[in-house]
Amino acid sequence: MDQKELAERLWSRVSSGRSQRKLKVDLQQRFECVFEGIAKAGAPTLLKQIYTELYITEGGSSEVNQEHEWSALAFILLSSEENLDQFELSRYCASEEALLRLLPVVKASTKALLSRCELLSCCELSDRSCGALASVLSSQSSSLRVLDLSLNDLKDSGLKLLSDGLKSPHCKLETLSLSGCLVSEEGCASLASALRSNPSHLRELDLSYNHPGDTGVKLLSALLEDPHCTLHTLRYGL
Does residue 32 carry a pLDDT above 50? Answer: yes
What is the mean predicted confidence (pLDDT) over 140-158?
89
Looking at domain 83-238, its CATH class is: alpha beta
Quote the pLDDT of residue 31.
56
Does residue 219 carry a pLDDT above 80? Answer: yes
Q: Which residues have C-beta within 8 Å of that of residue 226, sequence separation ≥ 6?
A: 196, 199
Quote the pLDDT of residue 165.
94
Q: How far apart are CA 33 and CA 29, in angstroms?
A: 6
pLDDT per residue as tens digits for the range 3-13? 555 555 555 55
Q: How far apart are CA 129 and CA 119, in angstroms?
A: 7
Does residue 29 carry a pLDDT above 70? Answer: no
The reported pTM is 0.69
- The proportion of the chain whose per-residue pLDDT surpasses 90, expressed as a percent, equals 36
Quote the pLDDT of residue 194.
95
Q: How far apart are CA 116 and CA 152, in angstroms?
A: 6
| Domain edges within the chain | 1-82, 83-238
pLDDT per residue as tens digits for the range 179-203? 999 999 999 999 999 999 988 899 9
pLDDT per residue as tens digits for the range 42-101? 444 444 444 444 444 333 333 334 666 677 777 777 776 555 778 887 776 666 777 788
